[in-house]
Structure 1
Amino acid sequence: MVREFKLPDVGEGLTEAEIVSWLVEPGDTVAEDQPVAEVETDKAVVEVPAPVNGTVKEILAEEGEMVPVGTVIITFDVEGEVPEPEAEAEPEAEPAEPDGKEAADGEPAEPKDVEATSGRVFAAPSARRLARELGVSIEAVDGSGPGGRVTEADVREAAETSAGEEATEEAAADADSGLKSATRKVTDDADEDEPSTDTDGAEAAGAASETVESADRERTLAAPSTRKLAEEKGVDLDAVPTEQTQDGEPFVTDDQVREYAEAQQQAQAADAEAVSGGAEAPAGGPDIEAGGEDERIPYRGIRKTIGKQMERSKYTAPHVTHHDDVDVTRLVETRGRLKEKAEARDTKLTYMPFVVKAIVAALKEYPVLNSQLDEDNEEIVLKGEYNIGVATATDAGLMVPVIKGADRKGMLDIADEMRDLIEKARDRSIAREEMQGGTFSITNFGAIGGEYATPIINYPETAILGLGAIKDRPRVVEREAQGASDGANGEAVSKEVVPRKVMTLSLSIDHRVIDGAEAAQFVNTVKEYLENPELLLLE
């Protein structure tokens, strides 16, 4: 028995996901809950498990393809059942020729303009259904799937090739005739019997521009090859006009992308001609060398989610950033003494656990920085948990794993948990819930040499602390000395300029909730704990 498996909603309200890689091939035996594919959601790459025990029959989606939730992506022969051999399956009926003449074997003959291939055709059921809908002979389609199987993308490409040639030729002819008047003046060898080139340049530009009618959609379906072609042509798929649909969604073909790109180029050329007034380039003018080609990277998945989150935070919460620095010489010394002992317990002790504990201690004194603004109920919610997010740079963009209940964990526990979360974020195996529930965030831009920044708040939190690099800086320190007096209390002291380890701090706050004075007091408290790390033993 064949079981179809549809792409599930692996996120919260997910509508589509990208197939990153297949972990199985047709013919592989799988167990229930065994991962069969990796898909990218708006947060991370997650594994999709098999729903049954059985054998992989067909893979119906390609790696790199964006697939709507609910689409069948793989089929299984259920374990214990004997699948019906494909050779014994009823042959697919193909569209008959207009004159109704049938082939010798009793099936309808192939369309006259399509050369049928010989041999048995391996195709997914969905591909066969699509072929019937589009009037394509499945036997004439070259399969690009595993083992030469015909996929839906192959069927669409065959349909586009067959149906789009005439439209492309007509579009090219129309475009060519429409551009003659706009390009005549820059052609030295134009025939004398051609139409006059005195046509107003603005009219020519307007005529060409009228052919570019951009659509304005939020979502468009297309084959992977079509998406790649759009990227190469610099075309926005959501702007390409189309009347075709699939599963109720607009569907764009290769030919439509090419036609739209060509029309844009023609319109731009006509506009340029109109601006120049049709004048020839002056002889001996500067030669302009073509620059490098632009690279277009799809704006989707995790990167798009990050962008939306940053946009929402920046345009919702009025940001104010408070800058300061802190002498962490004693912290550096303390960490140096404890580093080997931590390594003996298989823990890598960085400065971040000290910072986390210092922040928690300061949040307890200034709880308004550990808050959220409930706009619907017009209330400031002071959070009872201390869940500290740690911004982490990954290949897919910035992620913020959360250390839950940081106030209840020791220094080494925080170090171990943070290491595990960061590793999972970077290899994109982190779970969604491990990046939710934060009440305050830290970002360490000093790891790459930065000093000050204006961090964007991890909304709906109300504050984020940025850490700069630790550097040697001159500082004035007081030392006991003989023969010197400050004249105020009679104590013998001297002041010296010495190198100290200094770290910069940048605290961004939501000014709707937090005042500047509270931000400064919070930073001062964090500084006190970092300057005197032994105070953390009391927390």
Structure 2
Amino acid sequence: MAVSVTLPALGESVTEGTVTRWLKAEGERVEADEPLLEVSTDKVDTEIPAPAAGVLASIKVAEDETVEVGAELAIIDDGSGAPAAESAPAQAEAPAEAPAAQPEPAAAPAQEAPAQEAPQQAAPAAPAGGAQGTDVVLPALGESVTEGTVTRWLKEVGEEVAEDEPLLEVSTDKVDTEIPAPTAGTLLEILVGEDETAEVGAKLAVIGQKGTAPAQAEAPAAPAPAQEAPKQEAPKQEAPKQEAPAPAPAPQAPTTPAPQAVTTPAPDPVPAAPAPAPAAAPVTPAPAAGEADAAYVTPLVRKLAQENGVNLATVKGTGVGGRIRKQDVIAAAEAAKQQQAAPAAAAAPAASGTKAPAIEASPLRGQTVKMPRMRKVIGDNMMKALHGQAQLTSVVEVDITKIMRMRNKAKDAFAQREGVKLSPMPFFVKAAVQALKAHPVVNARINEDEGTITYFDTENIGIAVDAEKGLMTPVIKGAGDLNIAGIARKTAELAGKVRTNKISPDDMSGATFTISNTGSRGALFDTVIVPPNQVGILGIGATVKRPVVVDHPELGETIAVRHMTYLALSYDHRLVDGADAARYLTTVKQILEAGEFETEIGL
């Protein structure tokens, strides 16, 4: 039975989505709720899971195509009839293989050499091998991509492969990528050699079930102990020795030391020269062996790892399904450099004072890469906001010394009681929403088509989060009804969803006012851009200690070291006047400097 995969509703105001990447190719097996494709909207990127288990029969919407909510994306065949069709030929061919297996021991020694010298001649045997195995086909690699060139095989004939393990690298006129193994088993034959070009859907190789290829290789292993040269040339004969020690432990016990003993006393013959040939094979997959435990990586990531000396087996991927991304490799390289620099820094004399940080050149220098869709969405929204609004910025300076001292006293007990850290951010959000209640002109929206203004009766605060994909703004719904603890928990929850790629479109929609903590990266203040459909955004600058003139009730005017920060309000001058902005900022300043939050944080 065919199951239709449709584009689900991805948010209250989301009407369409763009397919950015298919995680499965046509003909591949998918499980229920397994990520099937990635979809991008104007609010968030998300994954669409498979509604049922089966085989991806056909893809209806190609990558980079945009469709409306409810449109059919693909069809999954639950395979109710497929297993029966596949089991029938398998049973019919089983007896044919049984008699064929009897003459093979006699012909095996003669067939070993040609099988190794001309692996491409295995194509005529494809019907027999293909009947027992799974075909590896060239998947669709883009909307306009019709063919691809095999640049490198990561596995050799006779090697074991795991499901979704990188099998080969393919190059097209648009991108270089890896093709994963559709199933686990033994690579029986390679039908398309390196540097050969094949069309989309063409058969590239055949993978058989585990134990199929070793069963045929066991026959020459027993009667021909003297054929040590073929054993060295054909690594697939070594696998059966490891897989089947149980049936004949007594004869294999002497057989195992025999090749070692023969190899040691007989380095003189010519067969000793081919020995480096199999040694060269492990050298090629050496990086792949280290990457076998890691997630699926692209050729670009592997190349970047090699250039920076990063072992992919030690890198934890943050991509889909744990895949290692370029940013993960860059982060691992920077961490390694910091570890190497740490001993040198420790050895430096303490009296040397502050030193300039070591500046390393980014691996992105000199590269031209495709602009991510998230960056396009951010850019479009920013240009839309700048071109559609009359924006300007007002700035005030705030003394938050009392809040910082209060936070230091309460942060340990607060974290133990509430389960989240107490950062300065919730104090700013609390002050901002209290001021919005008194100044609704900043918490409003201009309805250009109707020529009206909507003054919101709730404070839904967008929190700008610096994510790996770009700036994202999840929304704290009803922030005006939350206390410091509630704001802290909600902020931590939304930021965690953004950084783990679990944010939903509903979490990103409905903001009436936005707060951006640009000071978290050291900026004193910033002229932040007002998002579309809003009229104000508050930018929080870095908190620094500075000498400030303080009017003390007893000491009069004196100079003291205080914790100071800048608050920058960008606003749409079509609705908010400069006086309105100044009044709002003054209210926020007064709330923060008063610092009456003791009861909310447990002091």
Normalised to the residue count of structure 2, the TM-score between the two structures is: 0.52
Residue deviations 1:29-60, cap 9 Å, x none?
A: x34xx1332514133332322223x3335686
2:420 corresponds to: 347
The aligned residue for residue 48 of structure 2 is: 48
Match of 1:456 among 526, 529, 532: 529
Question: What's the offset of the Cα at 1:456?
Answer: 0.2
2:443 matched to 1:370? yes
1:521: which partner in 2? Answer: 583
Read off the aligned partner of 2:173 and give its amino acid letter. Answer: T
Report if the CA contact (8 A) 2:414-2:422 is conserved. yes
Structure 2 contact 26–59 (Cα < 8 Å) conserved: no
Residues 154-173 of structure 1 deviation map (CA, whole Å, 9 limit, x = unaligned): 99867799xxxxxxxxxxxx
SS at structure 2 position matched to 1:454: coil
Task: State the SS of the aligned residue for 2:576.
Answer: coil
2:495 alignment partner in structure 1: 422
Give the alignment partner of residue 14 of structure 1, picking from 12, 16, 30. Answer: 16
The corresponding residue for 2:562 is 500
Q: Aligned equivalents of 2:17 and 2:2: distance in 1? A: 26
Deviation at 1:68, TM superposition (A): 5.3
Q: CA deviation at 1:149?
A: 1.9
Distance apart, 1:298 and its partner CA: 2.1
Mapped partners of 1:438, 1:294: distance in 2: 38
Change (3 A) 1:512 1:26: same
Instruction: Tell me if the contact between 1:395 and 1:426 (Cα under 8 Å) persists in the aligned partners.
Output: yes
- Give the aligned partner of residue 480 of structure 2: 407
1:358 maps to: 431
CA distance in 1, matches of 2:146, 2:476: 52
Superposed counterparts of 1:35-434, under 5 Å? 35-42=34-41, 43-52=43-52, 54-56=53-55, 65-66=63-64, 69=67, 73=74, 75-78=76-79, 82=83, 84-85=85-86, 118=124, 147-153=135-141, 225-228=172-175, 294-345=366-417, 346-434=419-507
Query: What does the per-residue CA deviation read over 1:317-348, in whole Å, with 9 as the maximum and x for residues that have no partner?
Result: 11110011100000101111221121112121
Aligned 8 A contact 2:44 2:508 in 1: no
Change (3 A) 1:414 1:158: closer
Q: Which runs of 5+ in 2 are unaligned?
A: 91-120, 150-169, 177-363
Measured against aligned partners, the alpha-carbon deviations of 1:282-336 in whole angstroms (never above 9, x if no partner) come to xxxxxxxxxx984223224221111111011011111110011100000101111
Cα separation, 2, equivalents of 1:303 and 1:496: 49
Query: Could you tell me which amino acid in structure 2 is paired with residue 39 of structure 1?
Result: E
Change (3 A) 1:55 1:88: same
**Residue 395 (structure 1) shift:** 0.9
* Paired residue type of 1:56: V
Distance 1:530 1:156 in 2: 57
Contact 1:9 1:15 in 2 (8 A): no
Are residues 2 and 509 of structure 1, via their aligned partners in 2, closer, same or farther at CA, if it must alter by over 3 Å? closer
**C-alpha distance in 1 between matches for 2:89 and 2:74:** 24
Shift of 1:19: 1.8
Q: Is 2:148–2:172's contact at 8 Å kept on the other side of the alignment?
A: no
SS at match of 1:417: helix
Q: What letter corresponds to residue 495 of structure 1 in structure 2?
A: E
Aligned partners of 1:65 and 1:224 also within 8 Å: no
Does the residue aligned with 1:451 lie in a helix, a strand or coil?
coil
Task: Report the Cα distance in structure 2 between the residues aligned to 1:376 and 1:330, rounded to whole angstroms.
Answer: 46
Aligned residue number for residue 180 of structure 2 = none
Query: 1:171-223 CA distances to partner (integer Å, 9 max, x unpaired)?
Result: xxxxxxxxxxxxxxxxxxxxxxxxxxxxxxxxxxxxxxxxxxxxxxxxxxxx9
Q: Which residue of 2 aligns with 1:445?
A: 518
| Residues 444-484 of structure 1 deviation map (CA, whole Å, 9 limit, x = unaligned) | 01001001211000111100010000001111113355xxx
CA distance in 1 between partners of 2:23 and 2:145 (Å): 22
CA spacing shift, 1:353–1:19, aligned 2, 3 Å: same
Report the Cα offset of residue 24 of structure 1.
12
Counterpart AA for 2:444: S
Quick one: distance in 1 between partners of 2:594 and 2:143? 70
Q: How far apart in 1 are the matches of 2:145 and 2:434? A: 62
How far did 1:5 drift? 3.9
Contact 2:25 2:139 in 1 (8 A): no
Percent sequence identity over matched residues? 30
Amino acid at match of 1:449: G
Q: What SS does structure 1 have at the residue aligned with 2:370?
A: coil
**Aligned residue identity for 1:225:** T
Inter-CA distance 121–439: structure 2 relative to 1 (3 Å threshold)? farther
Match for 1:17: what amino acid? V
What is the Cα deviation at residue 228 of structure 1?
2.6
How far apart, in 1, do the equivalents of 2:449 and 2:4 lie? Answer: 43
CA contact (8 A) 1:24 1:37 kept: no
Aligned residue type for 2:15:
G
Maintained 8 Å contact 2:60/2:72: no
| TM-score (norm: length of structure 1) | 0.58
Counterpart of 1:474 in structure 2 is: 547
